[in-house]
Structure 1
Amino acid sequence: MDKFRMIFQFLQSNQESFLNGLCGILALASAQMYSAFEFNCPCLPGYNVLYGLGVMSVPPLVLFLLGFVLNNNVSVLAEECRRPEGLRAKEPGVLRYMFCSMAQRALIAPLIWLSVTLLDGKCFTCAFSESLEPRRLGLNLSGALPAQPQLRRLLASVPCPDIFPQQSALSREGAVRYLRCLSQALGWCFILMMTFLAFLVRAMRPCFTQVAFLKTKYWSHYIDIERKLFEEMCTEHAKSFAKICIQQFFEGFQNEMVRGYSRCQMPKFHDFETGEEQEKLFGITDSRNMNKLLRNWHRCKPPLNVNTGVKDDAQQNGDVNPVPNKCPPPRRENIVFYSKV
């Protein structure tokens, strides 16, 4: 259990590296899922498009949502969007930065799925086999080709070599190669476009909005760290609260035993441990006050100013530029000892 706890604490302290590694694992998993996926085109008119486009769009959407689900910052973003302003105003730039950072990580696995799908060409061939024109293949045998319904059924059976008629004027091998060539061309263009777009975002953003970028990045980190520290403080308070409650329960049971056996002298608990736990409670010793504290934390978070007390005193005194309080100079005290000897 200690090893698992150490691993969990390491992942919490290196959350950004952990999320990047998780996105990489999702990307590899998406490629492995596609290689293990058994693709069976229905080869029926009207169904090929639905099946091919469904395979190309539904799994990326699932992987995109899964990337958001596995990201812990989603709850932080939702809480920050839904909370009342109170003494702390909301920053739309920080919220946009948090959402964009999560979306960038969540898009890695869907983009790899689309890239692998287009480079493989099976889904594209199944989806667009019906829209293939025989003239693209160099066939001018208009009289040898069947009528429009039969031609549509023939084109729909191009991805399936088992049901494609052998005595057809249309070359199945040529049609498959043509569609796969288009699919691979679109795949490489898609990869090039995504790579160039990522390069532009990474290279050009600091050049124009460096100050705004640093501010949004700082406050997004602050929101995440503040949430973690608040959870740690609540955990420590809950530990102390539970320890004192259990200790009081045992002490009450001990008093009952002493009343029943008056001759027995039961050992008493030490009070210094209770005093240390009382200090960790910060004066919140009942459930009503604790619920009030949690309610106030959600409704009215403290302002982002650690010198609020100094500022308020200065405003009351009419000082425009308040000077922070300085420590008083040390006083020299003389101590005299009297002896009765």
Structure 2
Amino acid sequence: MSHFDLQEKQRKDPSIRESTCTEMERFQTILKIATKQSNFGFGLVALLTAGGEQIFSSVAFKCPCNELSFIYGLVFLVVPALALLLLGFTLSKKTWKLTTGLCHQKSKLCKWRNLKSMAMSVFQISACALVAPTTWTAVALLHGGYYECAMTGANFSSYRQDVCRGVNAEAKCQTELQKFPCEKAGNGREEVLRHLRAQSQILGWLLIASIMISNLLLICVARCTSPISYLQLKFWREYAEEENDLMNAYTNKHAKELAERNLKSFFSQTAPANMLTPCNQDWEKISSLYKFSTKDHYYSTLHKYVENKHESESCIRMVSIRTLDSRSSSLGILENDVHGLAWINQVRQKNLL
């Protein structure tokens, strides 16, 4: 069924449209929960990756049982994990927030504060992107099929001697080791494959344990070095989530209004209505990286921009007109601006000197 046929059916039958909208709302709700709750999101990614590995191994994986077994097994073990890693980097919003316009900000990158924030962001992006590939590798090692195929095809005489040691017909085992995953019985096949499967599962559990220990240590270090308390950190995260949601809503609304204004002006051939839109510098300021500091208490780059812009406008609201003659300047000021008066007095004193 094509997209247009589906639209026609939805137009004729409102119940289909309502059911489709309901399913989309459910999916968006689940996706929103997964993105907000990082632990739930990571668990969902790990679960989907584990299920995908099981399906992939049962459907696509067929060990060739020849000299290509070693490369074949390693490819199925490593390449999907690498693809998932690249996909994790690609789907991360932080990746594109970090890299967009990077070539035009070389002078800012040289600052130690910016380099530190960038390194921290890269580390956070990498930690999130590693969830799926490490899950794939761990589940694949626990399953043991890829490892068995790869190691039976390893053409290393010392390794073959070690694997076939103590097996009946040891010499035949060494020469026909690559055929073991495809054979049914004989030549100590079950004993060798059991040994390889045990090695694979040990590596899998070691990988899982190392990931959990590393995760715990990193969380402990991050919490111990946090410049703010637990409740303020929780508030900061809530603020960041709400700001992100509202930013998306405001962006969509403003883009829609701007598009409607331009289209209305085009089709009616009239002058467009006045509409304020942030300039490039404003977008650049709120899109830069931000690291929390206890000195200013800003919770985001947007928060910092709004507060600083308000303060600068209140301080620079001073001179509206400046005219020059041969010796002095006559200055027009806003009388209710204290900062402007102070600045004018300084200028007058300099001119008198």
- Band the TM-score falls in, shorter-chain normalisation: 0.5 to 0.7
Matched to 1:27, the amino acid is A
Q: Structure 2 vs 1, CA of residues 9 and 238 (structure 1 numbering), >3 Å: closer, same or farther?
A: farther
Structure 1 distance, partners of 2:315, 2:31, is 36
1:65 maps to what in 2?
Answer: 86
Structure 2 distance, partners of 1:316, 1:226, is 39
1:139 maps to what in 2?
Answer: 166
Return the structure number with greater relative CO, CA threshold 8 A, min gap 6.
1
1:41 maps to what in 2?
Answer: 63
* CA displacement, residues 237-259 of structure 1 (integer Å, 9 cap, x when unaligned): 4145236416734xx8xxxxxxx
Query: Based on CA coordinates, which of the two structures has the bigger radius of gyration?
Result: 1
Q: Structure 2 vs 1, CA of residues 299 and 16 (structure 1 numbering), >3 Å: closer, same or farther?
A: closer
Q: Structure 2 vs 1, CA of residues 152 and 81 (structure 1 numbering), >3 Å: closer, same or farther?
A: farther
1:195 maps to what in 2?
Answer: 212
1:176 aligned onto 2:193: yes
Indicate the larger mover: 3-12 or 120-129: 3-12
TM-score by length of structure 2 reads 0.60
Q: Which of 177, 198, 206 lines up with 2:223 in the alignment? A: 206
Q: Which of 178, 186, 197 lines up with 1:156 in the alignment? A: 178
* CA displacement, residues 113-140 of structure 1 (integer Å, 9 cap, x when unaligned): 1111111111111212234444555438
User: Where does structure 2 lack aligned partners over 5 or more consecutive residues?
Assistant: 1-16, 287-301, 319-338, 345-353
The answer to whether the 8 Å contact 1:117/1:123 transfers is yes
Q: Structure 2 vs 1, CA of residues 247 and 160 (structure 1 numbering), >3 Å: closer, same or farther?
A: closer
* CA displacement, residues 187-225 of structure 1 (integer Å, 9 cap, x when unaligned): 1111111111111111221112435996xx77x949957
Question: What SS does structure 2 have at the residue aligned with 1:161?
Answer: coil
Indicate the larger mover: 132-141 or 200-209: 132-141
Question: What SS does structure 2 have at the residue aligned with 1:41?
Answer: coil
1:323 maps to what in 2?
Answer: none
Q: Structure 2 vs 1, CA of residues 172 and 12 (structure 1 numbering), >3 Å: closer, same or farther?
A: closer
Alignment of 1:109-120 (within 5 A): 109-120=132-143
1:241 aligned onto 2:240: no
Question: What SS does structure 2 have at the residue aligned with 1:43?
Answer: coil
Structure 2 distance, partners of 1:54, 1:80, is 35
* CA displacement, residues 140-178 of structure 1 (integer Å, 9 cap, x when unaligned): 88xx654xxx7654122222215x7x4x4xx11111111
Alpha-carbon RMSD: 4.5
Structure 2 distance, partners of 1:317, 1:68, is 52
Structure 1 distance, partners of 2:64, 2:259, is 60
Q: Which of 36, 46, 63 lines up with 1:17 in the alignment? A: 36
Matched to 1:36, the amino acid is I
Q: Structure 2 vs 1, CA of residues 25 and 97 (structure 1 numbering), >3 Å: closer, same or farther?
A: same
Question: What SS does structure 2 have at the residue aligned with 1:210?
Answer: coil
Q: Structure 2 vs 1, CA of residues 184 and 145 (structure 1 numbering), >3 Å: closer, same or farther?
A: closer
1:185 aligned onto 2:185: no
User: Where does structure 1 lack aligned partners over 5 or more consecutive residues?
Assistant: 253-273, 283-289, 320-341
Matched to 2:204, the amino acid is G
Question: What SS does structure 1 have at the residue aligned with 2:65?
Answer: coil
Matched to 1:207, the amino acid is C
Matched length: 271
Alignment of 1:1-341 (within 5 A): 3=21, 16-17=35-36, 23-37=42-56, 38=58, 39-45=61-67, 47-79=68-100, 81-84=102-105, 91-129=114-152, 130=154, 131=156, 132-135=159-162, 138-139=165-166, 145-146=170-171, 153-161=175-183, 166=186, 168=187, 171-210=188-227, 221=240, 228=248, 231-232=251-252, 234-242=254-262, 244-245=264-265, 248-249=268-269, 278=273, 281-282=275-276, 295-297=280-282, 304=305, 305-306=308-309, 307-312=311-316, 314=339, 317=342
The answer to whether the 8 Å contact 1:125/1:176 transfers is yes
Structure 1 distance, partners of 2:180, 2:226, is 52
Q: Structure 2 vs 1, CA of residues 140 and 87 (structure 1 numbering), >3 Å: closer, same or farther?
A: closer
Indicate the larger mover: 183-192 or 304-313: 304-313
The answer to whether the 8 Å contact 1:43/1:160 transfers is yes
The answer to whether the 8 Å contact 2:35/2:41 transfers is no
The answer to whether the 8 Å contact 1:83/1:299 transfers is no
Alignment identity in percent?
A: 20
The answer to whether the 8 Å contact 1:84/1:298 transfers is no
2:330 maps to what in 1?
Answer: none
Indicate the larger mover: 53-62 or 65-74: 65-74
TM-score by length of structure 1 reads 0.61
